[in-house]
């Protein structure tokens, strides 16, 4: 056993990925995105660097002196060390030339450590190598979770739910966004999270992704929206709630609209369904309440090693046509209603699509 999970989990993942590489005639993949690095190694690490050949064992690159600590947290035995950041690519390039690789895959990601500068450096150091995107391969594996992954998401959901309840009880006039976020982070870390995410939007000015401000405070007649991304063993669950402080007829109408849209999404989201099909029905609810002009397009995103991963219907339109399948973890309703003068209105939970094709609430 490796920590809370078996080495076999990771060797199977790598084996499936290597099979996909061979099918594409890709000699190796250089993994620099943190989430996929965790997926294959079992641990997070600064400057994630993992070379996965189409055949053979993967090789991790870690700073000199970190080898023993890394081995305690990962099943990877092949380790190459470096003393400074620029040396990573030089050693990777040397290994690629030694092995005679001609086509190498890199994830064209948007997360931490997937910087374009590394991509450009890699191409400059390897002018004779064909570089291809393997993001679709890694996400095709990561979209369908195994039982271990689902159990972690459910545990993260339980943490998110407990912390959200505590936060909702403490909102009062004068409380700042930073105050709410500080309370949230304290309890998330105390409950076992290692890298939680918290967003807070206090009206009257709505913001979609609301990094908390210290000078925005609760007052009557505005909404307060809290978004929590709780993690457990690197896996996330996403939850959001909005409350109205005081009275506001338009805000009450928006809250009622969001509740009805959420209930409809809960009813329609199942295995075999495409997000666009549910979105069309939800749009009818927004029209009914005259909220369509305030609603952000999209309703669902995947959840796993990232708080927001494929499919991401609010950002990538083509993901709205991805068919939902058993083993996926998704969060909805992700897209909020934004009303100037009131704030953001949102209700979101994380669900697991069961082997039977139904959905199971994770954030409860």
Q: What is the pLDDT along the chain (364 residues), one digit of tens a residue?
A: 344 557 889 999 999 999 999 999 999 999 999 999 999 999 999 888 999 999 999 999 999 999 999 999 999 999 999 988 778 888 988 999 999 999 999 998 666 555 666 777 777 888 888 999 999 999 999 999 999 999 999 999 999 999 999 999 989 999 999 999 999 999 999 999 999 999 999 999 999 889 999 999 999 999 999 999 999 999 999 999 999 999 999 999 999 999 999 999 999 999 999 999 999 999 999 999 999 999 999 899 999 999 999 999 988 899 999 999 999 999 999 999 999 999 999 999 999 999 999 999 999 8
CATH number for the region 7-142 comes to 3.40.350.10
Query: Would the pTM count as exceeding 0.85?
Result: yes
Residue 294: the pLDDT is 97
Instruction: Select 147-361's CATH number: 3.90.230.10, 3.50.50.60, 3.90.25.10, 1.10.540.10.
Output: 3.90.230.10
Backbone torsions φ then ψ of 178, nearest 5 degrees: -65, -35
Which residues 6+ apart lie within 8 Å of 292 measured at CB? 283, 286
Instruction: Indicate the domain borders of the chain.
Output: 7-142, 147-361
Q: Return the residue matching tokens 């700042």.
A: 176
Residue 113: the pLDDT is 55
7-142 against 147-361: fold identical: no
Characterize 154-191 residue by residue with b for buried, 16 or more Cβ atoms within 10 angstroms of its Cβ, and e for exposed: bbbbbbbbebbeebeeebeeebbbbbbbebbbebbeeb
């Amino acid at each position: 056993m490796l920590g809370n999970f078996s080495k076999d989990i990771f060797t199977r993942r790598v084996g499936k990925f290597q099979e996909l590489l061979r099918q594409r005639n890709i000699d190796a993949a250089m993994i620099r995105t943190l989430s996929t690095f965790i997926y294959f190694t079992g641990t997070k690490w600064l400057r994630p660097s993992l070379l996965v050949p189409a055949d053979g064992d993967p090789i991790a690159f870690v700073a000199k002196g970190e080898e023993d600590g890394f081995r305690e947290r990962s099943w990877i035995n092949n380790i190459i060390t470096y003393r400074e950041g620029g040396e990573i690519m030089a050693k990777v390039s040397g290994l690629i030339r030694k092995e005679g690789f001609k086509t190498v895959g890199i994830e064209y990601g948007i997360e931490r450590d997937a910087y374009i500068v590394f991509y450009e450096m890699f191409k400059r150091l390897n002018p004779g190598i064909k570089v291809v995107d393997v993001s679709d391969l890694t996400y095709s594996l990561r979209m369908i979770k195994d039982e271990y992954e689902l159990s972690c998401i459910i545990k993260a959901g339980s943490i998110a739910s407990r912390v959200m309840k505590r936060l909702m009880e403490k909102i009062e006039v004068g409380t700042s966004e930073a105050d709410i976020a500080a309370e949230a982070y304290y309890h998330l870390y105390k409950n076992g999270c290692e890298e939680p995410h918290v967003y807070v939007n206090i009206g009257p000015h709505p913001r979609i992704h609301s990094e908390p401000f210290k000078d925005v405070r609760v007052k009557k007649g505005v909404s307060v929206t809290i978004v929590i991304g709780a993690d457990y063993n690197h896996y996330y669950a996403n939850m959001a709630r909005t409350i109205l402080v005081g009275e506001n007829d338009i805000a009450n109408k928006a809250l009622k609209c969001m509740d009805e849209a959420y209930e409809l999404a809960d009813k329609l989201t199942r295995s075999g369904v495409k997000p666009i099909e549910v979105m069309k029905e939800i749009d009818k609810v927004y029209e009914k309440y005259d909220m369509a002009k305030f609603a952000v397009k999209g309703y669902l995103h995947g959840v796993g090693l990232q708080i927001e991963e494929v499919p991401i219907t609010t950002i990538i339109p083509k993901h709205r046509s991805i068919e939902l399948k058993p083993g996926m973890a998704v969060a909805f309703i992700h897209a909020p209603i934004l009303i100037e003068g009131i704030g953001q209105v949102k209700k979101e939970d994380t669900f697991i699509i069961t082997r039977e094709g139904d959905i199971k609430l994770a954030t409860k």
